[in-house]
Amino acid sequence: MSDFDFIIVGGGSAGCALARRLSDDPGLRVCLIEAGAKARNPAVHLPFGLAVIGLFNNLQWGYETAPQDQLRQRNLVWPRGRVLGGSSAVNAMIYSRGMRADYDGWAALGATGWDYASVLPYFRKAEANQRGGDDIHGADGLLPVSDLPDPNPLSRAFVEAGSQAQIPVTDDFNRGEDCEAIGIYQVTTRDGLRASAARAYLSPEVRARDNLTILTQTSVRQIVFEGRRATGVETGIAGRHAGQGAGDDRTQTLCAAREVLLSAGAINSPHLLMLSGIGPAEHLSSHGIDVVHDAPFVGQRLVDHLDVITQFTSRIGARGGLGFQWNVPARSLRWALQWLSRRGGTFASNVAEAGGFVKSDPSLDRPDIQFHFLPARMANHGRQLVWGYGYTLHACNLYPRSEGEIRLASADPAAPPIMDPRYLSDPDGHDMRVLMAALDWSRRILAAPAFDGYRGRELRPGAAVQTAEQIRDWVARTAETIYHPVGTVAMGAADDPRASLTPDLRVKGVRGLRVVDASVMPRLIGGNTNAPTIMIAEKAAEMILDAVRSGEKGPTP
């Protein structure tokens, strides 16, 4: 007798959505296992908490990349949520789907059934847009999508500046096309509170379901196989951080009658597969791991959005943005009253309020640069408080050609894997060129008249950085992630050796095991990755439930 029908590993964006949809069927016993705790910290729930969330180590995995050859050997900080809700509990809440051509590109790569027309119904199914539904947007889903109640005047200035720089203005980036535009983002919040996947999909009533077990502060150490069939997972009690020991030696095996569903994210899903014997055979053997299935591309094809940051001081003090200053207590009191009285004001802000999409080269078929504008001076992913007022513009390369990998540092499940995105390693220098164009665009927008009343000193890159050589050097010294690693367990055609999964997300070469999270994306999308990951979970849940309804008893070949 198995403990559960389905075991979901990882309670993040995908895992929470999957747990909800599968447990909608009262005949299925579902278990969701999350390494982190339930999110009790107000910084998670209050959107403006994003400004300080990086200070709380207990909400994150504390990951860093390997030294990056093209980035002056820097180890980049890679924030990832370790809490029920996963990265959706620590992210910037921007609701962004990517573009039609992204999904058509997935299908062209062999991910049959993932073209734009096929995924659109799942974006709509997930979405509860405050503006109501139409043929593109959904109104009746579980993921709240809202307009920011009170965008900061600086964010409005950014949109006006973009318009002055000849970029069209939009109030909807998510129509699949025509997103070469600038505007205020819609956000995944409701009533002034963050809608993490945990809050959106696992309401108290759902959490209380008899057929849903949610284990928090429980780490999966490996997938258990009988031959080539995944039959369950081995868990341990989570330590405070990966790399700081498992915290407890007690382990437990939980059994899944139907399937194990890996939703541990683009770093931990390939890590767990490799720990469990699915990955490049030689690499696994070199760590003393018995090979269940030689899967050369598990952990490979890692891509991420690399980002350059332009920052100015604002010369009109408190009216010129959000900042830490002597008057923070008084302003916070006002913000608290605004939030309590109408769930609006600064506390309802996701900080990264505005943005847009432009092309590095006008001949491109779609934008390849995305902006995130913050009416504040944040530093080091919010892990450091900055004194003073100002504004910051992030600009990232949406379609990198550099590919990296996740590989094992050790066979010990408590040791983090090596994360090596190999940023800017593409041989023809495409990724560097796009980032140089991104800086050029950023400076052009921030020089527009709309900022004349605010503009202080250019802190980053700074007036001294002007020539192509200086800019290249500055990119190498300062570029950072904008948090969208994907592709490490990519789906694709059954006969494509670079695809680790078939298009129904089953792991090739074994039975009873699927991956459902951001790792499955065969290529990065042109936008933020939370909504696409939730779309993947919605579509996966339907495929899995269809298989159950069609009479599939246990794992299929």
For the CB of residue 465, give the shortest distance to ligand FAD in the complex, in Å: 26
Nearest approach in angstroms of CB 513 to ligand FAD is 15
According to DSSP, the β-strands at 4-9 and 229-237 are unpaired
- Structure tokens that stand for 471 in this block: 């800019």
CB atoms within 10 A of CB 204: 6
DSSP characters for 191-219? TTEE--HHHHH--HHHHT-TTEEEE-SEE
Residue 143's DSSP bridge partners are 127
Residue in the shown chain whose Cβ atom is closest to ligand FAD: 12
Would you count residue 483 as binding ligand FAD (CB under 6 A)? yes
Q: DSSP code of 519?
A: G
- Pick from 357, 355, 360: nearest CA to 439: 360
Is 351 among the residues that bind ligand FAD (CB under 6 A)?
Answer: no
Q: Does residue 417 belong to the site contacting ligand FAD (CB under 6 A)?
A: no
- In the residue annotation, 287 being an active-site residue is answered as no
Cβ–Cβ under 8 Å, residues 481 and 78: yes
State the minimum distance, in angstroms, from the CB of residue 474 to ligand FAD: 23
Contact by Cβ (8 Å): 490, 510: no
Q: Pick the closer one to ligand FAD by CB: 44 or 292.
A: 44
9 is a site residue for ligand FAD (CB under 6 A): yes
Alpha-carbon gap, residue 262 to 267, rounded angstroms: 12
Nearer to ligand FAD, 245 or 429 (CB): 245
Residue 408 interacting with ligand FAD (CB under 6 A): no
255 three-state secondary structure: strand
Residue 149: CB atoms within 10 A of its CB come to 16
Q: Nearer to ligand FAD by C-beta: 54 or 503?
A: 54
Q: Rule CB under 6 A: which of 20-39 touch ligand FAD?
A: 33-36
* Dihedral angle of Cα 313, 319, 325, 330, to the nearest 10 degrees: -170
Instruction: Indicate the SS3 state at residue 59.
Output: helix
Q: Which of 65, 70, 91, 500 binds ligand FAD (CB under 6 A)?
A: 91
Question: By the 8 A CB rule, do 515 and 15 touch?
Answer: no
Spell out, one character per residue from 237 to 266, where the chain touches ligand FAD: x when CB under 6 A holds, - when not: --------------------------xxxx
Q: Looking at residues 92 to 111 of the shown chain, list those that interact with ligand FAD (rule: CB under 6 A).
A: 92-94, 96
d(CA 72, CA 478): 9
Q: Is 529 in the site for ligand FAD (CB under 6 A)?
A: yes
Among 484, 508, 514, 523, binds ligand FAD (CB under 6 A): 484
Token pair recorded at residue 111: 């991910």
User: Taking CB under 6 A as the rule, which mask of x and - marks residues 49-88 in contact with ligand FAD?
Assistant: ------------------------------xxxx---xxx
- Of positions 292, 475, 528, 544, contacts ligand FAD by CB under 6 A: 528
230 near ligand FAD, rule: CB under 6 A: no
Residues that bind ligand FAD (CB under 6 A): 9-15, 33-36, 79-82, 86-88, 90-94, 96, 219-220, 263-266, 268, 272, 483-484, 517-518, 528-531, 533
**Catalytic residue IDs:** 484
